[in-house]
Structure 1
Amino acid sequence: MSNLRFQNALQGIPQAVPPVWFMRQAGRYHQHYQKLKEKYSFEDLCKNPELAARTAMGPIEDFDFDLAILFSDILFPLEALGMGLRYNPGPQFDWQIQGLKDLELLIPVDDAIGNLQFQKKAVQLTRSMLPTDKSLIGFVGGLYTLFSYATVGKHNGREPLPLMARDLRDAFLPILEELLVQNIELQLAGGAEIVMIFDTAAGSLSPHLFRDIVLPGLQRFVREFPGKIGYYALGVTRDHHSMLSNLKGLAGYGMDHRFAIEHSLAENEGQKFIQGNFDQSLLFLNTSDFERCFREWLAPIKELAVEERAGWVCGLGHGVLPGTPEKHVRLFVEKIRETFG
């Protein structure tokens, strides 16, 4: 009940053909998703386990990705704590956490986790629908990204409050951390092979602040779930990657398109999986230009020995963008297998 290529990547076993997975592979670019959205709201697709499983299955059936990912949203833990989330169409909370007194309004973690049980059921149903040669992963939002949303309602990393409110951060992050531990446990119990932590806002932090604010929580997660946690933050530097590569127990991490992934793969020696990192915007080019850019990106990776590519999970530098041509997604998957097969 797992994809051999993905399991090899997790274990650092050299292999010719890498597994392929895209962040946001089930999303607005895909006709399968668009048809579901004609009948159901985004919340319905996430919170109804059967609909969530159907949504996650769409890109597996249409593009033959090696793994599926739980269809959900990173913000549901904040809603579970009582913050009143709605989508109009973007996320909006009924209230923001502005001070220590606001923490008294939160639902206790042991009660809040009950509000996330739909994710476990969605994972179980998705696993039951998947072919036995496909893998399944879960995900949660990162601590700093969730803190940013809870305090300012967005995660672009340019708002001052998440950095200035140290007392609030020190009081709220442990609450979030405990809820995420239970959330990760819930998804793993449902059948997820690993759980990704998507921490987009953390990429705005300097390496020093990343070490102080993000790393302690991440260390807790990998202690609790060694080999079961992946991490991704957009816009990080090589110093951030160095911290991640040296974090014992971390299964792996995603890399955006600004980096030459072949260097990181060669240095990694299969110690962790590295996911990425074709520039997602290049999928919008006409087919001939897309194929040219794709070949240019692959050329230095092809020069690596099979052993040097160990741990590679092939994908994009970030999520699939709305409006991305489906035929280029399909072509990407086919060309990877044709090139390395």
Structure 2
Amino acid sequence: MNTLNQTSLFLRAAWGEDTPQAPIWLMRQAGRYLPEYRAIKARASFWEMVRTPELAAEVTLQPLRRFPLDAAILFSDIMTPLPAMGVHIDFSPGPVVAEPLRTQAQIDALRLPEAQEIAPYVAQAIRLVRRELTGKPAALIGFGGAPLTLATYLVQGSGSKDYEDFRAFLRQEPTLAHRLLERLTELSIRYLRMQVEAGAQAIQLFDSWAGLHDLEAYRTFGLPYNQAVLSALTDLNVPRIYLAVGAAHLYPALAQLSCEAVSVDWRMSLAQVRPFFPAHTLQGNLDPAILLAPPAIITQEAHKVLLAGRGGPHIFNLGHGVIRTTPPEHVAHLVEVVQQFNRHTEEPA
């Protein structure tokens, strides 16, 4: 276990300690449900917010000023490192790739930038956030997109329900697919190492669309590249978290990954998930829609997650991101409920 920052409940749990209280942070905790975020968004585009270190740091810290969360996650996007490869990306509102990559010439033309070239504003934002968090127990999480998920957007070109063009591409052009995934893997390694060297204390690898694939396809196009990314971070001595959404059918493969924590969605109880990952910390997995319900329901459902998370280390989170219509006071209530719950006595503290 890392001997540093052991005042951080989040880091203790991420390294595998079965803590009496579950640390809590929420995916998309910095976002459109907060009025202070919307105030910044009214005067700056998404890319301007991401690419301006002072704005990215401010948005990262906004939820921690409202709620006593155990971790901050850097405000950015999984697509952030891709422009350094020569890919033009807009947000409308989700990512849109101007020219989807489907030919050998396009893939061979991708640059492989050095770490310091990829997104220097991200490193600057991390340093600003760490400065603000000095002496405080909250840890800072950096993140990136898994190669398979980045490739999903690059080939499909924009958001899709089933990403059928990408799934067909994997079968029709497996050699090109592997060439693209190899380049994205090296990009991801450089980008994530840069974040840790700038001060990120943990890394989460988002494989948002892994669940689209069957187990054989994931073992071919996902697992080896995720393993390469995660293994390349081993020497940095930070906990590594892997997230795949809608991926319960992939758990036999995910259990092989070199990571300390696995973040799971809301579709299975943590008690059902735990046997697949006996050596990992589990992160999750309240249904984000529960935060739209009254406080009594939030309490009831949060307790179910906390009880199901016993039997090993647990970081409380949602099964996916905060929904933009979530009332901030409901988030405050959830944080209080989680922090008052003693996992070892199985009752509120």
When the two structures are superposed, what TM-score results if normalisation uses the length of structure 2? 0.88
Letter of the 2:128 counterpart: L
Q: Quick check: 2:251–2:276 contact (8 Å CA) kept in 1?
A: no
**Structure 1: how far apart are the matches of 2:59 and 2:329?**
19
Deviations 1:128-154 (A, max 9, x none): 111431101100011111111111123
Aligned partners of 2:161, 2:28: CA distance in 1, in Å? Answer: 21
Is residue 2:184 matched to residue 1:176? yes
Contact 2:88 2:97 in 1 (8 A): yes
Q: Are 1:333 and 2:344 matched, yes or no?
A: no
Q: Does 1:232 align with 2:243?
A: yes
* 1:279-335 CA-partner distances (Å, limit 9, x unpaired): 11111112333333334444444xx4xxx23x2110111110111111111111101
1:155 offset after TM fit, Å?
A: 5.0
Could you tell me how far apart the structure 2 residues matched to 1:243 and 1:92 are? 30
| CA distances 1:73-115 after superposition (whole Å, capped 9, x unpaired) | 1112222211111223332222111211112432x21358514
Instruction: Please show how residues 1-341 of structure 1 align to structure 2 within 5 Å.
Output: 2=5, 3-106=7-110, 108-110=111-113, 114-132=117-135, 133-156=137-160, 158-165=162-169, 166-226=174-234, 228-237=239-248, 239-247=249-257, 249-265=258-274, 268-269=277-278, 271-301=279-309, 304=310, 308-309=311-312, 311-340=313-342, 341=349
1-structure distance, mates of 2:308, 2:148? 34
Match of 2:19, SS?
coil
The code of the aligned residue for 2:319 comes to G
CA distance in 1, matches of 2:148, 2:321: 19
Q: Which amino acid aligns with 1:236?
A: A
The range that moved more, 143-152 or 97-106, is 97-106
What secondary structure does 2:24 align onto? coil
Q: Is the 8 A contact 1:244 1:250 kept in 2?
A: no
Aligned-partner Cα distance in 2 for 1:158–1:223: 30
Contact preservation (8 Å) 1:142, 1:198: yes
Partners of 2:144 and 2:161 lie apart in 1 by 18
Q: Is the Cα–Cα contact under 8 Å of residues 16 and 281 in structure 2 kept in the other structure?
A: yes
- 2:197 partner amino acid: A
Residue aligned with 2:197, SS? helix
Distance change >3 Å, CA 189–CA 221, structure 1 → 2 = same
* Structure 1 Cα separation of the partners of residues 228 and 75 of structure 2: 25
Q: 1:273 Cα deviation (Å)?
A: 1.8
Q: How many equivalent pairs are there? A: 331
TM-score, normalised to structure 1, is 0.90
Decide which structure has greater helix share: 1
Q: Which amino acid is 2:122 matched to?
A: Q
Mapped contact 2:255–2:276 kept (Cα < 8 A): no
Q: Residues 113 and 265 (structure 1 numbering): CA distance in 2 closer, same or farther, change over 3 Å? A: same
Structure 1 runs not aligned, ≥5 long: none
| Identity across matched positions, percent | 28
**Higher mean C-alpha deviation, range 316-325 or range 9-18:** 9-18
Query: Counterpart of 2:265 in structure 1: which amino acid?
Result: D
Shift of 1:277: 0.3
Distance 1:229 1:27 in 2: 23
Alpha-carbon spacing, 1:246–1:91, altered in 2? closer, same or farther (3 Å): closer
CA distance 1:317–1:242, change in 2 (3 Å): same
Change (3 A) 1:289 1:31: same
Partner of 2:346: none
Within 2, Cα distance between the matches of 1:12 and 1:312? 8
Q: Is the 8 A contact 2:130 2:140 kept in 1?
A: yes
User: Hey, what's the Cα distance between the residues in 2 that align with 1:191 and 1:276?
Assistant: 24
Q: Residue 113 of structure 2 aligns to a residue in which SS?
A: helix
User: Hey, what's the Cα distance between the residues in 2 that align with 1:245 and 1:170?
Assistant: 22
| Shift, 1:157, TM fit | 6.4
Seen in structure 2, the aligned counterparts of structure 1 residues 32 and 298 have a Cα distance that, compared at 3 Å, is same
